[in-house]
Structure 1
Amino acid sequence: MFHLLDIKKHEGGISFEQVIDIKEHLMARSDDIIDVDPVKVVGNISFDSGLYLLNYDLSYHLVLPSSRSMEPVSYQHQLFISEVFIEEKDAIAKKDLIDDDLVLVLEGDTINLVESIVDNILLAIPLRILTEEELQNEELPSGNSWSVMTEEQYQALQEEKKAENNPFSALNGLFED
């Protein structure tokens, strides 16, 4: 957590390199996460022209359920995060930046690094995550009178049905002899 007064005091900003355990915070906000190792954060926070600039590299390892089989999958990822904050009292002067979602308005006198990390990890979780076996085997799940298909397979099926429903399809092959 960074206090705004401390950030303003340091002309070049405050550099940081930390390993932070955020497992409790992530697990409280998402039921999809099976496990998370402590994350490594390297960055800088500074003050410039009424704006607080938070930039950091984030490296982390999650265990997530496979989107196909629900088997645990190891997911290693690295992100570069850049966020800009403004104090509430200065929000009116820079309303155009707020309206364009370019800055975040601070509600207190601190910037919470852990909250930023958790938010950005949750936003970066992919919708499709597969085990190594599932990546190699392109066979999708199926059951009695149902099957999962890719978008390409669905489009091909729709084209096939469209051709079958054509009223002139019965005339195909009529004049071949």
Structure 2
Amino acid sequence: MKWTVLQLQKFRDVELEIDKLVDVSQDLMKRDSEIRDASPIHVTGTARIDSRKVVFHLHLTGQLILPCSRTLDDVTYPINIHSTETFILKPVEYSPNDDEEIHEPDEGVVDLIPVIEELILLEVPLQVISETAKNTETLQAGRDWEVMTEDQFKLEQQRTTNIDPRLSGLAALLKDKKE
């Protein structure tokens, strides 16, 4: 998925169709230790080329293998990314929009692989929970610790903040001493 600027200029004012499988699994696993594996990424889209810039409209699909946050089992996480990436060919003549992500060719070569890797890494969630972990009623526990759901935590907080009405007088005395 590399083109020289001269190769791209041959497609000026014509849409360049992109439909390719790219294997970036090794690079993704090096850059993010949470990624255990990745399927080849199917990259489709178009590129519009003019004298100043190349605009890629990309659609990336594939799958990542990530660890479950609760059980550390492998979870297949689908990737479905739509992105528009702009490479400027003549930096002096081009002023980007505020919301536009721009890239520059590296030594006269437009390379989409680093862009694809970055887009995928930005899509990796902080937590992935497998279906079996979601459906399990009992959460992990150990000596003097246990995993709670948010609802269980809120109930526990309410129990500790509610003072027994018989001890409310004592609570008032303790507040006076603290002040």
Give, in whole Å, the separation in 2 of the partners of 1:150 and 1:48: 54
Give, in whole Å, the separation in 1 of the partners of 2:150 and 2:51: 48
Flag structure 1 segments of 5+ consecutive residues without an equivalent: 172-177
Amino acid at match of 2:152: Q
Amino acid at match of 2:36: I
**2:53–2:90 contact (8 Å) kept in structure 1:** no
Q: For residues 83-106 of structure 1, give each alpha carbon's deviation from its aligned partner in whole angstroms, at most 9, with x where no partner exists.
A: 223347338x526x4xx4522231
Amino acid at match of 1:155: K
Amino acid at match of 1:161: T
* Count of residue correspondences: 166
Give, in whole Å, the separation in 2 of the partners of 1:169 and 1:107: 75
Give, in whole Å, the separation in 2 of the partners of 1:6 and 1:17: 17
Residue 67 of structure 2 corresponds to which residue in structure 1? 65
Give, in whole Å, the separation in 2 of the partners of 1:89 and 1:73: 43
**1:53–1:82 contact (8 Å) kept in structure 2:** yes
**2:34–2:66 contact (8 Å) kept in structure 1:** yes
Secondary structure, aligned partner of 2:82: strand
Quick one: percent identity of the two aligned structures? 27
Question: What is the TM-score normalised by the length of structure 2?
Answer: 0.77
Flag structure 2 segments of 5+ consecutive residues without an equivalent: 169-179
Q: For residues 2-55 of structure 1, give each alpha carbon's deviation from its aligned partner in whole angstroms, at most 9, with x where no partner exists.
A: 323333331123111111111221122121122222111111122357332111
**2:87–2:105 contact (8 Å) kept in structure 1:** no
Residue 128 of structure 2 corresponds to which residue in structure 1? 129
Residue 103 of structure 1 corresponds to which residue in structure 2? 101
Residue 6 of structure 2 corresponds to which residue in structure 1? 5
**1:50–1:90 contact (8 Å) kept in structure 2:** no
Q: How large is the RMSD of aligned CA atoms in angstroms?
A: 2.7
Amino acid at match of 2:41: V
**2:9–2:51 contact (8 Å) kept in structure 1:** no
Using the TM superposition, give the Cα deviation of residue 138 of structure 1 relative to its aligned residue in structure 2, in angstroms: 4.2
